[in-house]
Chain A
Amino acid sequence: MKEFEYKIKDAVGLHARPAGLLVQKAKNYKSTVTIFANGKQCEATRLMALMAMCIKCGTVVKVTVDGEDEQTCIEEMKTFFIENL
């Protein structure tokens, strides 16, 4: 299992569109991607649950990746967060 932390910079936070993009991205991997924030956790493939976590600008999220393609997955996830959030 691999993990990284990221502080959200997008002004609106993890709102509907980037959450949707994250879900699409996370579905591309065999690994399970999990997001931890505000004392809650949620698989990155679940849109509504992700949105309900209410991740705002400035929130520090922990992203864990677990599975056979975790090396590629974590690299690409990092890039995704930097580019979109």
Chain B
Amino acid sequence: MICLQGKVICGGTAFGTAYISDRKTQGENKTELQDKATELKKLDIAISSVKQELTNSIKSAENAAEKDIFEVHRMMLEDEDFSDFLHAAVNNDGLSAQTAIKNAEQYFSQMFKDTKDDYMIARIDDIRDVCARLTAFLNGEKTSLNQKGPAVLVSEELLPSDLINFGTKNIIGIVISSGAVYSHVSILIRELGIPAVICEDISDIKSGTEILVNGDNGTVILEPDNKTLCEFKHIKSTHTESKVPNFNKLPCTVYVNIGDIKEISDELFNRCDGIGLFRTEYLYVGKSTLPSEEEQFSIYKELLIKANGKNVTVRTFDIGSDKSCEALPLKKEENPALGIRGLRVYSLYPEVFKIQIKALLRAAVYGNLSIMYPMVTSLEEIEEIHSIISDVAEELKSKGVPYKMPIKGAMIETPAAALLSDEIAKAVDFLSLGTNDLTQYTLALDREYGDLEKFSDKNFKAVISLIKIATENAHKNGIKIGICGELASNAEFSDTWIKLGIDYLSVLPSVL
């Protein structure tokens, strides 16, 4: 039994056999060099098969991000320069198909490296992904875990596309030796709720090693003895017995974050106190037409009926920054995170906002509805929104349409809103801290760039100071305050929130 200590990416525990995904050995030529014609034929079959593989992945992609990644990969594979390079390496230089791929990977990686541009350098991973697929095909290796059954994925590093390629359903745990806790792939892992740890030295782990990943304390145990396994099984069974492990024991309300009505089930409502963040962007993003009042009304109504009296907090649409909507064209900006997004869009498209408010007010009759507005920076913005809401209510009243005024809240996700939370608290019924944006804006760190991690504050000192200000101001004005950002799902900070007096946490359904 060997015990390794690492950094936590995602909590939870998993036990299974290790599946090593090692890029270093993937490039090795595992077959004898054959004659030119055979090598060329092998190369062409590999290219067309991987193209088909990618086409299938594009079709079955579960979200737009996945789809985009594979489309770019397919386009790279179809690039004439890429395919010319491969063919020339076999035809003119007499190399094997595998070596040609390895050389192409080096050549095109170098080409992107030479640009000295961070974005292009990051695309090297995409070239490596495409080449790894080709090599795996030629070596007769499966890049998918499908046939192997559930396993703990062990790798030196992981790319977001790896996770998707391996088939997330088959990964019960993850151990990687390099990576950042706040990288894109780590965020994706937490979204999926897979217990994961970063361990610097993974050389003792071999394919097939029995391995216990404990994402709650950051330990990884190889070939655990019976005693350790029994303890693990005990923890696991008590986890499944209690309805809301860890979070359930907290002396505060626990809600969940939801991004689509399809994610909701009765079983989920049994495990939490309600919905603390219902994102409505999915109704707008990737659609060519805007959601109608009726369409929205029926979704919000269904949501409230399913909640059966429990709180449902709907965030009005947060378009802009990285979330664009075809039907709501916005100017291209140099710095979209600091541009027209959140409630700033409402003044450009007041009618679209009114339609959502109308649907919300009508649906509010069916349950306990709260609404909140994204990207608040001043009291004036809230007053403007509230005057629109009053107008909508007047209109419904005059037409005799049944409606109810929902509980109204402001998102605190900019330092300005936290600093002005005293006056903002006087205008609303609750405050909700969006810690992802609050962190990005407080530390002036783009959360999309892993290179910036060394500048980030692991203890969130500055962010917590702002949260403290907002909490005190909320309570001074007699209203509640909660956290709906990713920090809420991080059990390490639960004590901090309780001490500060946070009234509710809205967490990822996967941590419950």
Contact = CB atoms under 8 A, between A and B. Distances in A.
Interface stretch (A28-36, A44-52, A69-77): A44-52
B79 A11 contact: no
Contact of A48 (B82, B119, B334, B335): B82
A52 B108 CA distance: 9
A20 B80 CA distance: 12
A52 B111 CA distance: 7
B173 to A, nearest CB: 31
Interface in B80-103: 80-82
B117 interface: yes
A76 B120 CA distance: 27
Given A47-B79, A48-B81, A52-B112, A57 B334 contact: yes
Contacts of B457: none
Nearest to B111: A52
A17 B71 contact: yes
Contacts of B123: 16, 51
Interface residues of B, number: 25
Nearest to A83: B329
A1 interface: no
Contacts of A46: 79-81
Contacts of A16: 72, 75, 123, 126
A11 B82 CA distance: 27
Given A16-B123, A17-B68, A48 B332 contact: no
A9 B79 contact: no
Contacts, number: 54
B120 A51 contact: yes
Contacts of B117: 54, 56
Contacts of B82: 47-48
B111 A48 contact: yes
Nearest to B114: A52
Nearest to A24: B75
Contacts of A11: 332-336
A70 B71 CA distance: 28
B115 interface: yes
B57 to A, nearest CB: 16
Interface string A1-35: 00000000111110111001001100000000000
A56 B116 CA distance: 13
B115 A10 contact: no
Given A12-B119, A17-B71, A54-B117, A49 B81 contact: yes
A17 B119 CA distance: 13
A60 to B, nearest CB: 15
Nearest to A50: B79
A76 to B, nearest CB: 19
A10 B336 CA distance: 10
A3 to B, nearest CB: 23
A45 B84 CA distance: 13
Nearest to A43: B80
Contacts of B20: none
B75 A23 contact: yes
Nearest to B117: A54
Contacts of B108: 48
B336 A20 contact: no
A59 to B, nearest CB: 12
Contacts of B335: 11
Q: Which 9 A/B pairs are nearest by Cβ-Cβ distance? A: A20-B75, A47-B79, A9-B332, A16-B72, A54-B115, A52-B111, A54-B117, A48-B79, A46-B81
Interface of B: 68, 71-72, 75-76, 78-82, 108, 111-112, 114-115, 117, 119-120, 123, 126, 332-336
Given A16-B75, A17-B68, 11 more contacts: A9-B332, A10-B332, A11-B333, A12-B119, A13-B119, A17-B71, A46-B79, A46-B80, A51-B112, A54-B117, A54-B120
